[in-house]
A and B are shown apart, each in its own frame.
Chain A
């Protein structure tokens, strides 16, 4: 016989409360702006664009290649005029020219976690991927490189969700292809996988979101989902008590995700979802722009505070230089092979004849990645969608980086770092900052030394969001604290 009393009747309300219910969610239409919050406090958002495989860089460790040997000698990420503190965008950043005044390019950020862990003092694939956003050491087991702590986006997502409740703490979208492991972690050993299907991403994020009154069928479905989730949370809670101590973290991770799904079942968000996101995959030139559109819409609809766009190390036959791909003779038709050629196209390298084609092709490849950032910035900086006096971009901070500077050298020294947006006014923009100690007064130097690491960069980012952290990551940094002179 079933027991007639509803012994679990209080559980649902409790769990929903724990998951972040009782929220006064904003009524937003992402196509027609409204201020996000009524109380005058602007919401802050954090975005990352992670581009796998490094950039066009001549970095080694403490020196740059001068372009007389087998390696090329170019750094096309660097500003065109590195002596100017006012930002003069370099070749790769040209697609971002319209937002130059809202950008900061930073030189001299090392991934000292990876450098200290790599036997060659450079970076290495798995180690660099696992540490670049976490500033942690990395364990390599069974082919996976797993960080021993969460990445900066996850930490910020949790902090921001606590003060700006949203259905999704963070969203994570991906242009899929070759890469050596995710840089995103929600905790020690816990890799986060992005969604690589625009259609699946749209279905998950805009599920139940509509421009008018919610569909009663959706309301019923969500009630059932809530019921199932309540049941599962209790079931996984009991299971947690039965597995051995060493496996409890596995079930705790599962419970966390059930709670996240519960959180996403809050009162329906009224907002016009973006239209026409139907591709279930496809080449980067199809997937990338759709993912950028989803991110913009999700932020403008108030569905999330944090968005990650991960771009794998892919070839880009669709760019204006795409036809050159055939000339390069890439035996391993992935971006990895492309940047490995970098060390052979210098004047004494075996592929010196390919120099012009390689530079032209790779530059457009990297510019295409920037075009996705341009699409994000355009949507976030929309003057028809103001939050008070500021655009969403002004209240956001976007970080673009990679696991390497010079991919061909696997160098985690002097990583490419680009920031965009004002973080609510605390980040002075339109600047180039170098932390290379040799570059003061000598911007063209080939010598390189910096005391700054991703640890310091992420500490600065936390502080930009009003957090009081004095340090982020492990103890591999030269010093604790933020980057000097970054925040206003």
Chain B
């Protein structure tokens, strides 16, 4: 996969399970498929709750009282961030910066070389380590007992569990083999470098333990395996001492033990950082398949002279501070979607049209944005700038994001021959007429082949018409000079109906069960490491129910962690 921030964001998944089954090719089959029939001939709406009815994939009938369920998933490898954090925590070296950047499903030769270099770099920095990794002075006299002590101390932490006998013998052999041709110091380095590149460090191997009355392949995670899942989900790093001790004591797999550790870990700033990154990734502000990251989103200098790296950075700081503020407070999804509270510097205050601190770039203040103009993350400058063209707002980009990522409404890919040149409105070719962005969008997408999707996409996007290409409020468009029309329409959701403006849209979305289900599913997928399968439906239902009721993102995390899917591994070949 290519880098440069143009990948699909990681939080992409199947969406509502029933939808995935109904709309395998997206809306380009035409609107008729929105009301398609499933395999049983039962009619379901586009976002119908047909998951309640189960499916024919061999899933046991009920979610309550039966054996635990979890869909099989591929073996996970540490992400680049997780690898770096793990090395830092393992060695006590916060300055360690890894070159490891592999995100491919299967590891590449380049990545294996990067891991080799990472281990060598780490060993070369041992003067910086604050953890007592080497039990003796490895520059000193030869001491085989020191190698044994290193195996006993470093490897279980690196592997996040006690060693199995085979691993103990393996590492002893590595040291002895090295010692046959190398000095003591070098052999100790060889041993440490081997641990730092070992499979049990890099991969989240999960073998689990047998579960009574469950299929043989469905196994409960061991306490240590669960500790790793929990720690990488909540902190993006290896378990800390307290979590490891709970696992050592065999207390993590109980509801009480797991809940207590989850609550403890959620209080840690690392959890806030991690959840903020989840939100950031959900909003795709680091780029997507067809849009740039915030930092790469150029604007026309003649129309937006104030826009540039400084304003982009301010937009990012503002959104990060807002997300952190929500998470630090009641972690309310509704607040995320509707709050007017904002952290602004001078230029951002000017953009939002509010009084805020001084006019300087470096002076920041919390302010309330005008409630008639702003509500939550979808009305903030960072989001609105990314989902725009260089000259004008883009209702298609904004509408597509809202449908696909907020409502989990899969649209599929556009046909190959669509005209995707930017729609900026203004004077049309030939000079005969001047159109708003909205009018020009209607003209561009008016053909029958386009309407299947655009009759749904465009009216959602039109609700954002009051925000220009950098998210500033506009009553008249910059390019066309014409007044905007922000009347929109939500279709195919549980909150269908007209919406006027993005404030009303955001408030409507905040109260939608479908939106919460979508949000909960994306986080569950992130926690489990892949798209949801039929055997995850019970876990999904419980997590969705919990989040729909509470709207509390921390409660969502707790529900995910306590779900069967999070606590079990399915070693079957496939569902």
Contacts and interface: CB of A to CB of B under 8 A. Distances in A.
Interface of A: 1-3, 6-9, 11-12, 119-120, 122-124, 142-144, 146, 172, 176-182, 189-196, 200, 204, 220, 223-225, 227-228, 230-232, 234-236, 238-239, 242-247, 249-251, 253-254, 256-258, 260-261, 312, 329, 331-333, 340-341, 343-344, 350-351, 409-410
Given A223-B181, A243-B205, A244-B571, A119 B25 contact: yes
A234 B173 contact: yes
B240 interface: no
Nearest to A119: B25
B472 to A, nearest CB: 19
A146 B189 CA distance: 38
Contacts of B292: 332-333
Interface in B1-41: 1-4, 6-8, 12, 25
A331 B104 contact: no
B531 A142 contact: yes
Contacts of B186: 220, 223-224
A225 B207 CA distance: 30
Interface string B217-236: 10000000000000000000
With most chain B CB atoms within 10 A of its CB, the pick from A172, A228, A243 is: A228
Contacts of B574: 246
A57 B161 CA distance: 59
21 contacts: A119-B25, A124-B413, A142-B12, A144-B105, A189-B105, A204-B113, A220-B186, A224-B190, A227-B181, A228-B193, A231-B190, A235-B198, A238-B167, A239-B203, A243-B205, A244-B572, A246-B74, A246-B572, A250-B203, A257-B109, A343-B417
Contacts of A244: 75, 217, 571-573
B72 to A, nearest CB: 7
A433 to B, nearest CB: 28
B102 A193 contact: yes
Nearest to B74: A247
B416 A331 contact: no
A239 B205 contact: yes
Contacts of B108: 191-193, 257
Contacts of A191: 1, 104-106, 108
A261 B113 contact: yes
A333 B109 contact: no
Contacts of B110: 172, 193-195, 204
Contacts of A409: 416-417
Contacts of A332: 290-292, 422
B306 interface: no
Contacts of B263: none
Contact of A9 (B75, B180, B207): B180
B363 to A, nearest CB: 33
B49 interface: no
B104 A193 contact: yes
A264 to B, nearest CB: 9
B159 to A, nearest CB: 11
With most chain A CB atoms within 10 A of its CB, the pick from B107, B166, B390, B573 is: B107
Contacts of A260: 109, 112
B415 interface: yes
Given A228-B190, A234-B173, A257-B109, A331 B422 contact: yes
Contacts, number: 212
Contact of B107 (A122, A253, A340, A343): A253
A182 B109 CA distance: 15
A411 to B, nearest CB: 8
With most chain B CB atoms within 10 A of its CB, the pick from A6, A11, A172 is: A6
A225 B116 contact: yes
Contacts of B147: 2
Contacts of A182: 1-2
B182 interface: yes
A2 B148 contact: yes
B-side binding surface: helix, strand, loop or mixed?
A: loop
B419 interface: yes
Contact of A178 (B4, B119, B415, B571): B4
A22 B102 CA distance: 32
Contacts of B531: 142
Interface of B: 1-4, 6-8, 12, 25, 72, 74-75, 77, 99, 102, 104-113, 116, 119, 144, 147-148, 166-167, 170-178, 180-182, 186-187, 189-190, 193-194, 197-200, 203, 205, 207, 217, 289-292, 298, 389-391, 413, 415-417, 419-422, 429, 530-531, 571-574
B7 to A, nearest CB: 6
Contacts of A333: 292, 298
A47 to B, nearest CB: 18
Given A193-B1, A224-B186, A224-B190, A247 B109 contact: no
Given A144-B104, A254-B107, 6 more contacts: A120-B416, A142-B12, A228-B116, A235-B174, A331-B390, A409-B416
A122 B106 CA distance: 29
Given A2-B144, A312-B2, A242 B107 contact: no
A107 B231 CA distance: 56
A235 to B, nearest CB: 6
A350 B106 contact: no
A180 B107 CA distance: 19
A7 B173 CA distance: 7
Contacts of B181: 223, 227
A344 to B, nearest CB: 6
Given A119-B25, A224-B190, A177 B4 contact: yes
B190 A8 contact: no
A6 B176 contact: yes
B40 to A, nearest CB: 26
B115 to A, nearest CB: 9
Given A7-B173, A176-B3, A143 B289 contact: yes
A9 B8 CA distance: 48
Contacts of A3: 172, 176
Contacts of B199: 235-236, 239, 251, 254
With most chain B CB atoms within 10 A of its CB, the pick from A235, A238, A256, A261 is: A235
With most chain B CB atoms within 10 A of its CB, the pick from A8, A144, A146, A350 is: A8
Contacts of B573: 244-246
B106 A189 contact: yes
Nearest to A7: B173
B2 A176 contact: yes
A11 B2 contact: no
Nearest to B183: A220
A124 B415 CA distance: 9
Contact of A230 (B75, B112, B177, B289): B177
A223 B422 contact: no
B11 to A, nearest CB: 11
Contacts of B178: 224, 227, 231
A193 B107 CA distance: 10
B7 A143 contact: yes
Given A8-B173, A178-B6, A351 B104 contact: no
B421 A232 contact: no
A257 B12 CA distance: 29
Query: Which 5 pairs from chain A and chain B are nearest by CB?
Result: A143-B8, A231-B174, A331-B422, A239-B199, A247-B75
A257 B6 CA distance: 27
A249 B105 CA distance: 11
Contacts of A253: 106-107
Contact of A232 (B1, B197, B207, B291): B197
B571 A176 contact: no
Nearest to B191: A231
Nearest to A310: B2
B182 A227 contact: yes
B19 to A, nearest CB: 17
A9 B177 contact: yes
A230 B171 CA distance: 11
B170 A231 contact: yes
Contacts of B289: 143, 180
Given A11-B177, A204-B113, A257-B107, A224 B416 contact: no
